[in-house]
Amino acid sequence: MKIGFTAKSVIALALIASLFSFVKFDHCYTNNWASPDVYTHACYSDIPALFGARDVIKGAWPYSSATNAVEYPPVTGLIMWATGKITPKSQADYQYYFLINIGLLALLFIGTSLLVAKINPKKWYLLPLLPAVIGSLYINWDMWAVVTAVLSIYWFDQKKYRWSAIALGVAIATKFFPIVLLAPVAVILVRRRDPIGALKYVVTSIEIWLIINIPFAVVTPTGWWRFFKLNSERGADFGSMWYSLQILGLKISGLNGVSIVTFVIMAIAASIFFLKSESTPTLGEISIVFIMIFTIASKVYSPQYVLWLAPLGVIALRQQKDRAAFWIWQGSELLYHIAVWEYLATVSGTKFGLPDSWYAVAGLIRVAASCYFAVRIALSTRVSVPQADEFPESVIQSYP
């Protein structure tokens, strides 16, 4: 099938962005990720780091160790293990492993860009032009979850609910953060007077997650559980507003509970807001709000999390008046991207870098800008034109 001009443009721009991202990581690639170069040159990547640290280089099963298992859900662990198996054994095995993985990540980024173009054909070009996205593309394996989450959103807005739920289940089994999308899905289907459809969607997603996870939980339970254990036990970590507040002298006790309660309160508030809106928004329009709530309340914010947010932000950007808020937010992401590496350079003992307090301020600026953009998007959905699919008959017929 002949590719249309728009698709060619999306592929070309996404490919150029992928190549620019490699240029950003090239210094570390050339110097075998020597420390503290990885921080001073802002080219650190988990891909080569965990290749050695989690014994993937030795072909170890990712969840075989209770203390050194891969700290990610099963699909990501499988990807790490499988790409390790096809990595040539040589003195350059770290470089080969990195190249194999980033080649796949580049393809996934192109696929994500194509999906974004389908959902928002007027603003798609912003995604491959965002500096923070280009700078973060090869830090981790997040694009595997991002592409399936965006595919889930695309199918949902096309009313292919079963396929959307399946894709979301796979995404949750890859990086877990897409579980947050169940909240806006429920809001939309309840607004459409289809609570049974909402229940079916949630059950389908959980079933897919269980099908993928149960074999790991049965065969290597402690290694599989390590992901959940680390996340429940971690304190205030890099990038979170809690970490910034801690640096500035405000330490929060019982942070695990505080973080969860903060997320729940904000998510409930957003759900009530959208339930009371004049018209029913699409999942593409409001997903960014709920994922931002998750990242704001979370105990950690890694720089590659912008890859979760940016496609959703571009999809949701429909009102011209929200463009300033979008760029303010993306400016804060770029500021944080630079700040975190320079701060880690300081922590690593270099003679220059970013002081603690400046890093804390950069983190809080990012949080404030995220809140601002999320609020702008939420308010913009109130002026949307009511959709015909708000009537229950069309919804019930569309769910297989």
Q: Are 361 and 245 in contact (CB under 8 A)?
A: no
Residue 348's pLDDT is what? Answer: 83
The Cα–Cα gap between 39 and 43 comes to: 7
pLDDT of res. 5: 55
Report the pLDDT averaged over residues 90-109: 96
Q: What is the pLDDT of residue 390?
A: 40
Calculate ∠ Cα 155-159-162, nearest 5°: 70
What does the alpha-carbon distance between residue 353 and residue 359 come to, in Å, rounded to a whole number? 10
Q: Residue 29: what residue type?
A: Y
Phi and psi, residue 283, nearest 5°: -65, -35
Q: Which residue has the tokens 């050339």?
A: 30
For the ranges 138-147, 294-303, 318-327, the lowest mean pLDDT is seen at: 318-327
Distance of CA 120 to the CA centre of its chain: 19
| Residue recorded with tokens 């830090």 | 139
Contact by Cβ (8 Å): 198, 186:
yes
What is the reported pLDDT for 350?
81
* CA distances from residue 114 to 16, 56, 224, 398 in whole angstroms, order as listed: 14, 32, 33, 24
Q: pTM score, two decimals?
A: 0.92
Residue-wise pLDDT for 219-258, tens only, equals 999 999 999 999 999 999 999 999 999 999 999 999 999 9
Confirm if 209 and 173 have CB atoms less than 8 A apart.
Answer: yes
More confident residue, 350 or 42: 42
Cα atoms found within 13 Å of the Cα of residue 14, Cβ hemisphere only? 23
Q: In the predicted model, is pLDDT for residue 216 greater than 60?
A: yes
> Distance between CA atoms of 52 and 47, rounded to whole angstroms?
9
Instruction: Give the separation between CA 181 and CA 155, rounded to whole angstroms.
Output: 13
Residue pair 29/23 in contact (Cβ under 8 Å)? The answer is no
The number of C-alpha atoms within 13 Å of 318 and in the hemisphere containing its C-beta is: 21
User: Is residue 363 a contact partner of residue 338, using CB atoms and an 8 Å limit?
Assistant: no
Query: Is residue 150 within 8 Å of residue 189, measured between CB atoms?
Result: no
Q: What is the mean pLDDT of the chain?
A: 92
Residue 59 has pLDDT above 60, yes or no: yes
Residue 191's identity, in one-letter code, is R
Decide if pLDDT at 381 tops 90: no
- Residue pointed to by tokens 């590496």: 341
Q: Which tokens hold the place of 359? A: 């890093």
Per-domain residue ranges for the chain? 5-386
Copy the structure tokens of residue 37: 């170069």
pLDDT tens, residue by residue, 169-212: 999 999 999 999 999 999 999 999 999 999 999 999 999 999 99
Query: H helices within the chain, ranges in order?
Result: 5-30, 37-40, 46-53, 74-85, 93-119, 131-136, 143-157, 161-175, 182-191, 195-219, 221-233, 241-247, 255-275, 283-297, 306-316, 323-347, 356-380, 392-398
At position 285, the amino acid (one-letter code) is E
Distance from C-alpha of 101 to C-alpha of 219, rounded to nearest angstrom: 26
pLDDT band at 393 (very low <50, low <70, confident <90, very high): very low
User: For position 391, what pLDDT does the model report?
Assistant: 35
* Cα–Cα distance for residue pair 327/339, rounded to 1 Å: 18
398: confidence class by pLDDT, cuts 50, 70, 90: very low
202-233 burial, b if ≥16 CB within 10 A, otherwise e?
Answer: bebbbebbeebbeebeeebeebbebbeeeeee
Contact 72, 79 (CB under 8 A): no
Report the pLDDT averaged over residues 80-88: 96
Q: Which residues of 119-138 are buried (b: 16+ CB within 10 A; e: fewer)?
A: bbeebbbbbbebbbbbbbbb
pLDDT at 164 over 80: yes
**Kind and range of the H or E run holding 387:** none
For position 388, what pLDDT does the model report? 40
Q: pLDDT tens across 335-374, in order?
A: 999 999 999 998 887 877 899 999 999 999 999 999 999 9
Q: Are 168 and 212 in contact (CB under 8 A)?
A: no
